[in-house]
Amino acid sequence: MAHPTYGLNELREMFLKFFETKEHLRLPSFSLIPQNDASLLLINSGMAPMKPWFTGEEEPPRHRVCTCQKCIRTGDIENIGKTARHGTYFEMLGNFSFGDYFKRDAIHWAWEFLTSPEWVGLEPDRLYPSVFAGNETTPADDEAFAIWRDEIGIPEDRIFKFGKEDNFWEHGSGPCGPCSEIYYDRGPEWGCGKPGCTVGCDCDRYIEVWNVVFSQFDNDGEGHYTELKQKNIDTGMGLERLACVSQNVASLFDVDTVMNITNKVSEITGAKYEQSDKIDVSLRVITDHIRSATFMICDGVLPSNEGRGYVLRRLLRRAARHGKLLGVDHPFLYEVCDTVVHENEGHYPELRERQAYITKVIRTEEENFAKTLDAGMKIYDEMLAAHKAQGETVFSGADAFKLYDTYGFPIDLTMEMAEEEGMTVDEAGFRALMEEQKVRARKAREALGDLGWAGIEFGKDMPATEFVGYDRTSEQGKILALVADGELRDE
Ligand code: SER
């Protein structure tokens, strides 16, 4: 029996509404920029901004909360565009309990939402749960297993047991615990066909749609676990993955709202989707990266050479290079921004409010990179030819560093280009040169200090400034200090 299909925006609303009927407080997505959490560059899951509510350090606005959270994960960046389910930007649907309900309700509601004809209405016999198999420190989750078998009625042989890698959720430090996942079987036509291909296989047949974490430990980031004061629920369901399943489409790039962005990229570049694998990868990389960039800039990230600013710069530069591969030789990413805003503004109205600003940031970064991209590509081709002439399969760290330092090529861009030629990059050599450069820069700064220039102290004791540029274009300010003639002057 086929299931009904729903648009991505509809599914988001359905999820939030469903959990409101279960007395959850619906909260808007938190910013992509973590607040008071040095362990993360960018928010990567629904629970990340709520850590103090899990640990009990802070009182939540309600003990049941549901959100649709903007997330960025760049760990699998090289897979983007090549698989059905990887993206750097995605939205995570989540229902959370802070010391309120636990395994039983979380499992029942997950099942009800996915299978009830009133809600998503997926076919129950295509769904497979998994539970934690246990290890030397944490016992097998017999309780979750029994709920699936005895209360939901799933036969034992359809419930999978996996180890820590799959069924124990943690991300850096913070609340974590064993989890129960729900996989959807898209059918053998999506499978790898290898013997033993089943739930948990890395191919595109069995898609993990939901992860229900029984969050009961706190990881100090060094692998030490302590029992949390309260037992919590942290669930996460990738909205694009759910839409992919609901809409019976090949990948998350074929989901309605995402496809509309790809169509816009096609319109601008003239590159048609589904004509060659290579073109598809470029179209998907651009689509994914422009989504990430738009949301990151909207939340206040600016391209830079450090931290999250560098994540943004890498995404924009990689997307720009894929534009080049599609034959575009002028800045164009900023033009796609309007479609990203259009597809998402219903749930994220701030995108439209900040659109002019976002577009300007993207365009400026594109124009800056365009100045060095062509020259850099020429040098890269020469370097590549020289390595090949020597019969080498490793692109040197020194060359990768020169491309970075002189032409602004992020290392993963060089790695991707080398990989296309069947080569690898000496990343360790590159990093060593980066480190040397940092030491040189530090020494230069210290030398500046030796000159007695008061600027080195400048700002040290200043209060933080508040950025108001999203809401106003003019504002009163107060000069707190001045440096003149090498001297720090008071007001
Ligand atoms: N934290 C879990 C995840 O990210 C569930 O929300 O998958």
List pLDDT tens digits, range 257-270. Answer: 999 999 999 999 99
- Report all structural domains of the chain as residue ranges with CATH numbers, in order of start: 8-252 (3.30.930.10), 255-371 (no CATH), 392-448 (no CATH), 450-491 (no CATH)
pTM of the model as a whole? 0.86
Ligand 1 pocket mutation pick from 66, 235, 240, 242 by most atoms within 8 angstroms of CB = 235
Query: In ligand 1, which atom is closest to the CA atom of 212?
Result: 5
SS (H, E, C) the chain: CCCCCCCHHHHHHHHHHHHHHCCCEECCCCCCCCCCCCCCCCCCCCCHHHHHHHHCCCCCCCCEEEEEEEEECCCCHHHCCCCCCCCCEEEEEEEEEECCCCHHHHHHHHHHHHHCCCCCCCCHHHEEEEEECCCCCCCCCHHHHHHHHHHHCCCHHHCEEECHHHHEECCCCEEEEEEEEEEEECCHHHCCCCCCCCCCCCCCCEEEEEEEEEEEEEECCCCCEEEEEEEEEEEEEEHHHHHHHHCCCCCHHHCHHHHHHHHHHHHHHCCCCCCCHHHHHHHHHHHHHHHHHHHHHHCCCCCCCCHHHHHHHHHHHHHHHHHHHCCCCCCCHHHHHHHHHHHHCCCCCHHHHCHHHHHHHHHHHHHHHHHHHHHHHHHHHHHHHHHHHCCCCEECHHHHHHHHHHHCCCHHHHHHHHHHCCCEECHHHHHHHHHHHHHHHHHHHHHHHHCCCHHHCCCCCCCCCCCCCCCCCCCCCCCCEEEECCEEEEC
In tens, the pLDDT along 367-403 reads 999 989 889 999 999 999 999 999 999 999 999 999 9
Query: In ligand 1, which atom is closest to the CA atom of 215?
Result: 1
Mean pLDDT (whole number) for 53-78? 93
Ligand 1 cavity residues, CB under 6 Å: 45-47, 94, 169, 211, 213, 234-236
For ligand 1, atom 6: residue with the closest CA: 236
491 pLDDT band (50/70/90 cuts)?
very low
Mean pLDDT (whole number) for 463-470? 70
Q: What is the mean pLDDT of the chain?
A: 91
In tens, the pLDDT along 161-173 reads 999 999 999 887 8
In tens, the pLDDT along 292-310 reads 999 999 999 999 998 999 9
- Percent with pLDDT over 70 in the chain: 93
